[in-house]
Amino acid sequence: MNKQHNCDVLIIGSGAAGLTLALHLAKDADVVILSKSLVNEGSTFYAQGGIAAVFDENDSIDSHVSDTLIAGAGLCDKEIVQYTAENAKACLEWLINQGVNFDQEKNTDGEVKYHLTREGGHSHRRILHSADATGQAIQTTLVDQVKNNSRIRIFERYNAIDLICTNEADGIEKQCLGAYIWNRNSEKVESIFAKKTILATGGASKVYQYTSNPDVASGDGIAMAWRAGCRVANMEFNQFHPTCLFHAEAGTFLLTEALRGEGAILRRPDGSRFMPGFDKRAELAPRDIVARAIDYEMKRLGADCMFLDISHKPADFIKQHFPTIYEKTLKLGIDITKSPIPIVPAAHYTCGGVMINKQGKTDINNLYAIGEVAYTGLHGANRMASNSLLECLVFARAAAIEIEQSLTKKTEYISLPAWDESRVTDSDEEVVIQHNWHELRLFMWDYVGIVRTTKRLERALHRVELLQKEIDDYYQNFRVSNNLLELRNLVQVAELIIKSAMERKESRGLHFTLDYPELNDDAKTTILTPN
């Protein structure tokens, strides 16, 4: 019999969305946060740029809305964009009250105000930031608050395996009861009952060979929700961040868009500038345009990388505004105050996800999704810079309000079905997982990357279907492991990305295909429904 835990609210994921929700709910509920790795190890921690909100009197909510709609290439849900922009400032003020220190400066009148930077797609300076390590400041502050709250338990080094749901029968709708979880410390499967379960697992960029994301970004929540019966939307829109550091020892180190917001220029290996030839906004064009331009120039020239140059700015300015990047690159022998930085695009953000309503509710009762795992309609066909952490905060608060109102006060818990591993054995073929892992990420990069074709997508789907059969067979016969669970989820998410891309017979936003280079007259969301 596997061990069962019980709680009022189970939050799967420990980034900005999950931690914010936990803090909102802890006064009225017993909360468990499930963290696949250590509680700091998520995409939030590595976010450099900042959070968009209207704090400048020369800016407006209407302008924030307009910029987001333009970046989203006609596919944003305008009502959701309006809702997010209207609630942005209040959510940022809540974050400030939690202790996050955003950079400040004195204006010409001697007033101390928040230093606002500008990023691609924004028409005004509206990005609050903490130097170039905003995510780290947010994550560490929220973690400290969570650890000091007696109503919140953190389960570190636990993988969620699958959601546990009732069957739909006799007019009673399907309900989520919690999840099977794998304790990486004991290597045992356990279960957890929850009155409300929230997916806050982040995105799926690890499905690609080159990504700015940490290892934990393996699409777990999207895959689990799909297997449970939830619809997903717009999975074809994978954002490739234009500027990831290109260096053998750099790993996955992102170069924030704020560099370009402060005047950094993209150059070819010969030093010539190229972005003005692609878009009148040049380096401040939305990410999809900049990433495609870099990809085009790399392929045209047969170059391994392009270069990002901010060395024309004063050295003290660079060190003050980008200390993390300055120190990281200096250790690799690159002085960004004197030399350009080698860069390549890398998979960065999943714009689609599990379909939810404005309160974060999915298609299954008592199951919610917030943050990058969810499709809200905010990002459309391309996410505008610094709207991602904002989405986490706004929808965590919205979900918290709904959950507080609907959470029952009864304390009795349900005994969950036991996990059956009576017919499995320990694997002696871990190499199979490693081989499949590398094959998946490579062909997704080659066939379902920045530029696509129908033939490439067909090849990718064929490869995914073969991998799925192998992995399903492996999963049925061997005990679970971290690599197996992540691979199973990544292959599922890869199939959803490919099928969504095949549905879209046009080029829009982040989805660009040589077979359908034009924009269709009507903008439609791609929705996939489980059988």
Please give the helix or strand (H or E) that residue 414 lies within, else none. Answer: none
Length of the chain: 531
Mark whether 260 is an active-site residue: no
> According to DSSP H, which parts of 233-358 are helical?
258-261, 287-301, 315-321, 323-331
Which is the catalytic residue, given 118, 126, 260, 287? Answer: 287
Outline where DSSP puts E strands in 262-412.
265-267, 306-309, 341-350, 353-355, 367-369, 374-375
Contact 375, 226 (CB under 8 A): no
Classify the phi-psi angles of 121: left when phi > 0, otherwise alpha if psi is within -120 to 50, otherwise beta.
left
Smallest Cα–Cα separation from 98: which of 35, 201, 39, 16?
Answer: 16
User: What sign results for the dihedral spanned by CA atoms 363, 369, 371, 373?
Assistant: negative
> According to DSSP H, which parts of 112-207 are helical?
134-147
Could you give phi then psi for residue 191, rounded to 5 degrees? Answer: -135, 160
Quickly tell me which residue has 């439609």 as its tokens. 524
Quickly tell me which residue has 């980008």 as its tokens. 322
Burial profile 153-168: b = 16 or more Cβ within 10 angstroms, e = fewer: ebbbbbbbbbbbbeee
β-strands 104-106, 112-114 pairing: antiparallel
User: What sign results for the dihedral spanned by CA atoms 24, 27, 30, 34?
Assistant: positive
CA–CA separation, 88 and 115 (whole Å): 17
Exposed, middle or buried by CB within 10 Å (0-12, 13-18, 19+), for 526? buried
Quick check: helix, strand or coil at residue 148?
Answer: coil
Cβ contacts of residue 38 below 8 Å, gap of 6+?
A: 156, 157
CA–CA separation, 447 and 442 (whole Å): 9
> Which are the catalytic amino acids?
287
